[in-house]
Structure 1
Amino acid sequence: MGLGLAFAALVFILGASIGSFLNVVIYRLPAGLSIVRPASRCPACETPIRARHNVPVLGWLMLRGRCAACGVAISARYALVELAMGVLALALFADLSGGLLTAELLVSPDFLLDVAGPFVVYLTFLAGLVAITFIDLDWFIIPDGLSLPAIPLGLLASFAAGHAVGVTWVDSLIGAAAGAGVILAVILGYGLLTGREGMGGGDWKLLGAIGAWLGWQGLPFVLFAASIQGIALTLILGRAFAVSELPPDPAGDLVAEPVPDPAAAAPDATADATRFGQLAIPFGPFLALAAIEYLLFREEIRGFLASALSFG
């Protein structure tokens, strides 16, 4: 048990550290800024963040949500992204390993092939989904630099680690084509019927990537769950979540700092908004959420769907 808890702590720290990097990606990538340089700093006073304050989750708590130099408020979302990635890493590892790590599993010849390797591969997928979620929430765009490479990477993942989640390369290939094709058909059909754009151009690329990673079998659940959860949240929050016009600047800067116009600074980003009546909502976060749900609960979901279909 001691080994399992110690390894679980390491897995959480790994996930939270990835979350810390994702905060940089979420903030800088849409603005066309380097994600490598400069080092993390306060956007208000540009004071570099000290090493001890860069510790995931704990750094924000030590600072009490404010810059140590100028006192400007720092959004709690920094810590929440780090915490979320830590929890997702734990959930993924537990799913692939069947629970906490044991000495028997660690020395098993199948550990690298069936647990460690797939964990690294699919943790990358989860990280991309988290980054896309918050970028879409802020800017109403899904950067092509994240969504398009995820499609061939998903195909490669099916060869390297697909056996761990029940996805073959054929499933992946069909999933990529079907995922992108379904959303494209909806966009084109809605446009022909109404003369308006009903969904953002980033959605079809994202669903194509999700299909590549999860296989075509995951697409019905992802589309259904994303739609239901998106509609439910929009009905509950209304204009607190949806907008009538797409924002020209990020909808939620983490700190009060002017950011370049995304249309000029990020030409590889595709505007993404789904029209709900006269309101626009970012659909990418709900596709990402449903994909995460399917990945972590795929056996239960597949079993439920199989039972429902056989009963019908």
Structure 2
Amino acid sequence: MILLVTLSALLGLAVGSFLNVVVHRVPAGRSVVRPSSRCPGCDRGILRRDNVPVLSWLVLRGRCRHCGTGISVRYPVVELLTGLLFAAVAWQVGLSWALPAYLYLTAIAVALSAIDLDVHRLPDAIVLPSYLVTSVLLLVASLGTGDWYALVRALVGGVALLAVYFALFVVRPGGMGFGDVKLAGVLGLYLGWLGWSELLVGAFLAFLVGGVVSIGLVAFGRAGRRSRIPFGPFMLLGAVTAVFAGAALGQWYVGLFGLTAA
């Protein structure tokens, strides 16, 4: 297990480096492949030795080697966060057929959260292909485990969460973006594959945390009643939390009524 977690953490650092490119370029409609990473100050290509996740930023003290332009601290933060989350997911899921699927969820969660916070959008370029990628990865997971009920549950979860968000979008126009609706289907697939408790807990936490944070921002004058607060990060936080603790939280809640979670 230690080896798996370590390798996953290293993979996460590398993926985090790529996610920085995704976060910067995808909202602008630019390719994430070409051109290679360049300094925004002098436009010189980033050397390979200066592109080592986290370490290069520390060695260069957050500045370009050539022109001294400052490099945002968010770059190493995204890399480190992705590495830590990959390690945590590997520890939670273990060496299983489902691990690639939930590592992919982790990667898009980091990228989409950062983009939504930046530009208040959840780009179709990431969300829509995730339906296909997620479906294939969860299909492979069910093939490997022989748990076809989990796959059926994933499909039901995806459709159900998509329908709930679409209904909220129609009933209260402007309350959330249509990107949130599209993302809901992807998250429903992941949470449904794990179980009904994870699906319900993940959906509930998104609104709970989003509501608490929004009230806090208004109370402290950081936002007004009509301010647009990106909801995607709360959806993703709720989903990732449910991956780790959804079953336990579901069991705890129904236990309050003397029942047992399915």
TM range (shorter): 0.7 to 0.9
Query: Which of residues 226, 233, 237 in structure 2 aligns to 1:289?
Result: 237
C-alpha change, 1:90 and 1:167, in structure 2 (3 Å) is farther
Structure 2: distance between partners of 1:132 and 1:175: 21
Indicate the residue corresponding to 2:183 in structure 1.
206
* 3-state SS in 1 of match to 2:30: coil
Q: Any runs of at least 4 consecutive aligned residues in structure 1 with deviations exceeding 4 A, and if so which?
A: 4-7, 162-167, 238-244
In the alignment, the residues of structure 2 paired with residue 35 and residue 239 of structure 1 have an alpha-carbon distance, to the nearest angstrom, of 39
Check whether the contact 2:54–2:76 (CA below 8 A) recurs between aligned residues: yes
Structure 2 unaligned spans of 5+: none
Aligned counterpart in structure 1 of residue 91 of structure 2, from 87, 91, 94: 94
Aligned positions of 1:259-270 closer than 5 A: none
1:235 to 215, 226, 231: 215
- CA shift, 1:238, in A, is 4.2
Shift in Å, 1:6: 5.0
Q: Which range moves more in the overlay, 80-89 or 302-311?
A: 302-311
d(CA) in 1 for partners of 2:221, 2:65: 31
Alignment check: 8 A CA contact 1:26 1:135 kept: yes
Q: How does 1:81-160 map to 2 (within 5 A)?
A: 81-97=78-94, 115-160=95-140
Structure 1 CA distance for aligned equivalents of residues 222 and 124 of structure 2: 23
Q: In the superposition, relative to structure 1, how do residues 130 and 80 fare at CA in structure 2: closer, same or farther (>3 Å)?
A: same
* Match for residue 219 of structure 1 among 175, 196, 199: 199
Per the normalisation by structure 2, the TM-score is: 0.87
Residue 141 of structure 1 aligns to a residue whose secondary structure is coil
1:243–1:235 distance in 2 versus 1, CA, 3 Å = closer
The answer for unaligned runs of 5 or more in structure 1 is 98-114, 192-196, 245-276
Counterpart selection for 2:28 from 15, 28, 31: 31
Mark the CA change 1:180 to 1:6 in structure 2 (over 3 Å): closer, same or farther: closer
Letter in structure 2 aligned against 1:52: R
* In structure 1, distance between residues paired with 2:105 and 2:66: 36
Deviation at 1:134, TM superposition (A): 0.6
Retained in 1: the 8 A contact 2:199–2:242?
no
Name the CA distance, whole Å, in 2 between partners of 1:84 and 1:56. Answer: 11
Matches of 2:257 and 2:39, distance apart in 1: 54
CA deviations 1:231-264 (Å, max 9, x no partner) are 22233344999666xxxxxxxxxxxxxxxxxxxx
- Taking structure 1 as the reference length, the TM-score comes to 0.74
| Pair 1:302-2:250 in alignment | yes
Q: How far does residue 24 in structure 1 lie from its aligned partner after superposition? A: 0.5
Instruction: Report % sequence identity.
Output: 36
Q: Which has the higher helix share?
A: 2
Output one character per residue of 1:20-47: Cα deviation in whole Å (capped at 9) or x when no partner. 0011011101101110011111122212
2:41 is equivalent to residue 44 of structure 1: yes
**Number of the residue aligned with 2:228:** 280
Q: 2: distance between equivalents of 1:11 and 1:182?
A: 34
- Residues 158-173 of structure 1: pairs in structure 2 closer than 5 A: 158-162=138-142, 168-173=150-155
User: 1:239 and 1:81 mapped to 2: Cα distance?
Assistant: 29
* Higher RCO (CA 8 Å, separation ≥ 6 residues): 1
Answer yes or no: is the 8 Å Cα contact 2:158–2:187 preserved in 1. yes
The Cα of 1:127 is off from its aligned counterpart by 0.5
Number of matched residues?
A: 255
State the match for 1:112 in structure 2. Answer: none
Instruction: Give the match's secondary structure for 1:142.
Output: coil
- Tell me the distance in 1 between the aligned counterparts of 2:226 and 2:48: 46
- Aligned-pair Cα RMSD in Å: 2.6
8 Å CA contact retained: 1:155, 1:213:
no
Name the SS for the 1:117 alignment partner: coil
Is contact 2:16-2:82 (8 Å) kept? yes
Partner in structure 1 of residue 171 of structure 2: 189
